[in-house]
Amino acid sequence: MKKHLTILAVLSLLFVGTVSAHDGSQLWLQGSAPSVTSTLEIANAELNQSWKGAAPVLKLNKSMKALPDGSFSITIQAGTPVIQSASEVGLLYGSYHLLRLQQTGANVTDTAFVERPSYNIRILNHWDNLNGTIERGYAGRSIFWRNSADQMRRNADGEVNEEDLLHPKDAPEIPSVDRLRDYARANASIGINAYVPDNVNASPKVLTTEYLLEVKKMADIMRPYGMKTYLAINFASPMVIGGLDTADPLDKNVQKWWTAKVKEIYKLIPDFGGFLVKANSEGQPGPNDFGRTHAEGANMLAKALKPFGGIVMWRAFVYSPSDPDRAKQAYLEFQPLDGQFLDNVIIQIKNGPIDFQPREAYSALFGAMPKTREMAEWQITQEYLGHSNHIAYLAPMWTEFIQQIKEIAHCPINNALSPARSLTAISAVSNVGNSPSWCGNVMAQSNWYAFGRLAWNDELSACQIADEWARLTLFPDRDDAATTKALANVKCLMLRSREAIVDYMMPLGLHHQFAWGHHYGPEPYCDIPGARPDWMPSYYAKADAEGLGFNRSSTGSNATGQYPTDYAKVLDNPETCPYDLLLWFHHVPWGKTIQHRCGDRVARESLWNALCHHYQHGLDEARAMQRDWDRCQGQIDADVFADIQRRLRIQTRDAQWWKDGCLLYFQTFSGLPFPDDMESAVHDLDKLRAIKLGITNYECPSEELLDSVR
Ligand code: GCV
């Protein structure tokens, strides 16, 4: 019996390791990662294995040094491509770009252009814990960390076995070093040049010598692909692992500790990028604990990093439990510190003032600190967008944000707007784990891809990126009529997905109506006695007999006043406030007539009717996404097709749950009937109120679990 089990286990390992060409495990790439290790060799090997045509010429050209790092030019004359750059990494980017052009059917016979990145640092944040779990991760366990350093096998010299470090014990299907190389390659192919492998809720342990030695191994794998390593650090590290009795940034011993620690890191990783810090937020320690400001904390670290060229990415995600408007707090704490941060500090700001909601106003901090470097943080992992069960293509959300930042905030967060600034960056919280599809499902890879492409060129459109990604990932090497049709259907699905989610979850500017803790599914009725008020959906919806929405206008919390004057005026008046942010900024009576757009329909109707129509439209769109996908049957890898089809079924059932849960609950306040052209609810409010999924913040609920509770 035992023997049989062993044979079975070996067979299943072999099976898992054998993947068909387009099952998504290769992401958007062709061929496999070259076994060579220098940047130039990699570029040549990639071209050798995939370029069809006259051999491309790679030329280092120092005269291109004036362009941002990584810039390259491509000239193709009579079919022979010449790629030039001031750096080897630029040549690697150029090679991937050339291959992308070929694989997406673009002009590769006669062309000439220069590509330069919109942001200098294009960085993924991984919320991976050292025990291998991933906070808000829905794609398995960490590719960087295993269960515990204590459980690692060691050699006679006490060094941790590389396989054990880099690969969780319980998922042996893909060799871990290869997985990290594939990760590095995937990032380089879309221009991502940096990563933070540990959670911003950081363990001080990551700075112990034992862990730093392991980080060095990762850095060595990443380097040839132009990927710089950064670490998220715990501000109290000098106390927890340094034996000091304070972490006060003005204390000499604390400063000495950080200086020595930084030296140790650079000895191991000479091109180390710097630190990412979550301080005085959600229970994390920080300078405020010692009566110091964020600037004093950040500058202390920045001074230690400066001699080595390192930087500090200091997060502005702060809010206290007692403030009457969470949306205002980052601005209130950070804006007065403008001009006090050293020039190797950059403030990392989430796109919106609350927390990665399906739609938010942009964070008013952008553009409000002209003497401070600022960068945006997006979330690729779908904490608030149905985890890996829902199909949500996020480029439309990010391009909407970029447009607002450029046109309204006039914020110099990228080179195009402020060439004098050398420190420009953009980040996103990754959805990568050790699942075979990397991101929990194949469609979720499109958001990793879209982040990279937008970080490189923030003028690309969501549609163009969807087109590229789908061709490369779902339809490589195919160019027939059936493919063209299927591609159109996939793009249609992708491009409608974000707005569909807004509509079936939280339309018209509603926000944070999620279930407690894990944030999957609706819980506008959530009631946890004694809980932080700003973690409760009722704090945000403010539903009452009169109406719905958070009054952030000048008659309320005056969050509108934090925006540039002209825009503040537009937001402040419910008649001019964009309808899709109406309930974000205003408490609107149920019967008030509003003008809004729902799908293709522009309507004037009461808030209640408008709300009902948006929820209905969201559900209809989820069904339409199912139909878009079903039309692709036979044109997409069968396993990928079946997996996404199953997820779209879950998504549609969830959309129904959201519609019923929110509308039935808000109806207890409005007392109004659903409009005649609406479908009736299929759930009972009391039963929905009783749903508790009981999942952790590290997992996506299974279909079976969801079916068993509703
Ligand atoms: C890493 C939200 C998430 C937390 C996350 C935090 C942050 O609160 O729910 O899981 O913590 O944002 O961005 O720091």
For 591, the token pair is: 């019967």
Q: Which atom of ligand 1 is the closest one to the Cα of 278? A: 14
Residue 457 Cα, ligand 1 centroid: separation in angstroms?
Answer: 27
Please give the angle made by the CA atoms of 658, 708 and 494, to the nearest 5 degrees: 45
Q: Is 136 touching ligand 1 by the criterion CB < 6 Å?
A: yes
3-state secondary structure of 31: coil
Q: Which atom of ligand 1 is the closest one to the Cα of 200? A: 1
Euclidean distance between CA atoms 468 and 483, whole angstroms: 14
Report pLDDT for 171. 37
Q: Is 317 touching ligand 1 by the criterion CB < 6 Å?
A: yes
For 691, the token pair is: 């749903």
3-state SS string for 140-191: CCCCCCCCCHHHCCECCCCCECHHHHHCCCCCCCCCHHHHHHHHHHHHHHCC
Q: Which of 487, 513, 598, 587 is nearest to 546 (CA)?
A: 587
For 589, the token pair is: 């009576």
Report pLDDT for 409. 80
Report pLDDT for 172. 34
Q: Which atom of ligand 1 is the closest one to the Cα of 201? A: 1
Q: Which atom of ligand 1 is the closest one to the Cα of 127? A: 1
Residue 535 Cα, ligand 1 centroid: separation in angstroms?
Answer: 12
Give the phi and the psi of residue 36 in degrees, each rounded to 5: -80, 165
Select from 203, 280, 351, 355 the residue to mutate for testing ligand 1; criterion: most ligand atoms less than 8 Å from CB: 355
Q: Is 181 touching ligand 1 by the criterion CB < 6 Å?
A: no
Q: Is 135 touching ligand 1 by the criterion CB < 6 Å?
A: yes
Q: Which residues contact 132 (CB under 8 A, 6 or more apart)?
A: 141, 142, 145, 146, 147, 168
Residue 2 Cα, ligand 1 centroid: separation in angstroms?
Answer: 45
Residue 156 Cα, ligand 1 centroid: separation in angstroms?
Answer: 40
Report pLDDT for 12. 38
How many CB atoms neighbour CB 634 within 10 A? 9
3-state secondary structure of 606: strand
Q: Which atom of ligand 1 is the closest one to the Cα of 429? A: 13
Catalytic sites, residue numbers? 282, 355, 383
Q: Which atom of ligand 1 is the closest one to the Cα of 281? A: 14
Q: Is 50 touching ligand 1 by the criterion CB < 6 Å?
A: no
Q: Is 636 touching ligand 1 by the criterion CB < 6 Å?
A: no
Give the phi and the psi of residue 284 in degrees, each rounded to 5: -75, 145
Residue 324 Cα, ligand 1 centroid: separation in angstroms?
Answer: 20
Report pLDDT for 163. 54
What residues does 588 pair with on adjacent strands?
548
Euclidean distance between CA atoms 570 and 576, whole angstroms: 5
Q: Which atom of ligand 1 is the closest one to the Cα of 383? A: 9
pTM: 0.93
Q: Which of 49, 86, 47 is nearest to 66 (CA)?
A: 86
Q: Which amino acid residue places its CA nearest to atom 13 of ligand 1?
A: 317
| Angle between helix 481-505 and helix 395-407 axes, rounded to 10 deg | 70
Q: Would you give the DSSP letter of residue 438?
A: S
How far is residue 561 from each of residues 569, 585, 603, 640, measured CA to CA in Å? 8, 11, 29, 48
Exposed/middle/buried for residue 473 (C-beta within 10 Å: 0-12, 13-18, 19+): buried
Is the Cβ–Cβ distance between 165 and 147 less than 8 Å? no
Select from 126, 127, 203, 534 the residue to mutate for testing ligand 1; criterion: most ligand atoms less than 8 Å from CB: 127
Residue in the block written with tokens 């927390």: 355
What residues does 314 pair with on adjacent strands?
277, 347
3-state SS string for 185-240: HHHHHCCCCEEECCCCCCCHHHHCHHHHHHHHHHHHHHHHHCCEEEEEECCCHHHH
How far is residue 523 from each of residues 506, 588, 659, measured CA to CA in Å? 12, 21, 11
Residue 281 Cα, ligand 1 centroid: separation in angstroms?
Answer: 9
Report pLDDT for 477. 83
Euclidean distance between CA atoms 229 and 449, whole angstroms: 20
Euclidean distance between CA atoms 71 and 149, whole angstroms: 40
Select from 125, 128, 136 the residue to mutate for testing ligand 1; criterion: most ligand atoms less than 8 Å from CB: 136
For 579, the token pair is: 């309808």
Q: Is 201 touching ligand 1 by the criterion CB < 6 Å?
A: yes
Select from 196, 201, 235, 282 the residue to mutate for testing ligand 1; criterion: most ligand atoms less than 8 Å from CB: 282
| DSSP E strand boundaries for 268-384 | 274-277, 311-315, 345-350, 373-379
Residue 316 Cα, ligand 1 centroid: separation in angstroms?
Answer: 12
3-state SS string for 629-659: HHCCCCCCCHHHHHHHHHHHHHHHHHHHHHH
For 522, the token pair is: 């609706």
Residue in the block written with tokens 């508790």: 692
CA torsion through residues 82, 87, 88, 89, sign: negative
pLDDT along the chain (710 residues), means of 10: 41 37 85 94 98 96 96 94 98 98 90 95 96 91 69 58 51 62 97 97 93 92 98 98 98 98 98 98 97 98 98 96 91 96 96 98 94 95 98 98 90 52 88 94 98 97 98 92 97 98 98 97 96 94 98 98 96 98 98 97 97 98 98 96 98 98 98 97 98 93 94
Q: Is 535 touching ligand 1 by the criterion CB < 6 Å?
A: no
Exposed/middle/buried for residue 245 (C-beta within 10 Å: 0-12, 13-18, 19+): exposed
Q: Which amino acid residue places its CA nearest to atom 12 of ligand 1?
A: 355
For 339, the token pair is: 């001009």
Q: Which amino acid residue places its CA nearest to atom 11 of ligand 1?
A: 201
Report pLDDT for 412. 62
| Angle between helix 638-670 and helix 607-630 axes, rounded to 10 deg | 170
Q: Which residues contact 141 (CB under 8 A, 6 or more apart)?
A: 132, 133, 134, 168, 170, 171, 433, 434
Q: Is 326 touching ligand 1 by the criterion CB < 6 Å?
A: no
Residue 226 Cα, ligand 1 centroid: separation in angstroms?
Answer: 28
The number of helices, as runs of H, and strands, as runs of E, in the chain is 21, 16
Helices (H), 379-429: 395-407
Residue 471 Cα, ligand 1 centroid: separation in angstroms?
Answer: 33
Euclidean distance between CA atoms 157 and 125, whole angstroms: 32
Residue 693 Cα, ligand 1 centroid: separation in angstroms?
Answer: 20
Euclidean distance between CA atoms 122 and 313, whole angstroms: 12
Report pLDDT for 24. 84
Euclidean distance between CA atoms 475 and 491, whole angstroms: 12
For 662, the token pair is: 């929110």
Q: Which of 366, 431, 455 is nearest to 121 (CA)?
A: 455
Is the Cβ–Cβ distance between 262 and 310 less than 8 Å? yes
Euclidean distance between CA atoms 628 and 86, whole angstroms: 45
Q: Which of 311, 314, 275, 282 is nearest to 298 (CA)?
A: 314
Report pLDDT for 91. 98
Polymer length in residues for the chain? 710
